[in-house]
Amino acid sequence: MSTTGFSRDLLIGLSGEEYMRRMLDGRIAAPQMWATSNITLSDVAQGQITLHTAPLPAHGNIIGTVHGGWYGIVLDAAMGCACMSCVPEGATHTTLEYKVNIVRPAKIGAELIATGHVQHSGRSTLVANGEVRGRDDNRLYATGSTTCIVLQH
């Protein structure tokens, strides 16, 4: 039973981790932006998320390298989902702020892994960090950090 978009009804009876696990197994659809950004959820644990991705030609900038905004989308997804995996039943979260540092440019088509790790999970805020690394060579391409607010529904 897959859905086409987010509905608060999806949260009924689910913790954030359970919600993310249902996304992993396909019972809840990933955000449409993930298809546009070529992101796939590959692992879920409480406070930790792994995504697989590869920048497409559409993610290039005016000089042919990967656009900085694409790294922001990927890292926001990884860190935000890590935060989601820590929220209690019936709650969600949203990003308050995030920061991205691009260490080296990835090539279009490069197979990459993005991870998100929660550093602090409180009643009202969450703090997480993330990395984008090469799938085959483990080289670091970008890092990020975020602060999210917990939303009680």
Q: What is the pLDDT of residues 113-124, one digit of tens each?
A: 999 999 999 999
Cα distances (Å, whole numbers) of residue 12 to 15, 18, 125, 148, 150 = 9, 11, 21, 21, 16
Per-residue model confidence as pLDDT tens digits over 121-136:
999 999 999 999 999 9
pLDDT at position 53 over 50: yes
Angstrom distance (rounded) from CA 146 to CA 150: 13
Q: Would you state the pLDDT for residue 8?
A: 57
Q: Would you state the pLDDT for residue 11?
A: 67
Q: Which domains does the chain have, with CATH numbers?
A: 8-152 (3.10.129.10)
Per-residue model confidence as pLDDT tens digits over 60-108:
999 989 999 999 999 999 999 999 999 999 899 999 999 999 999 999 9
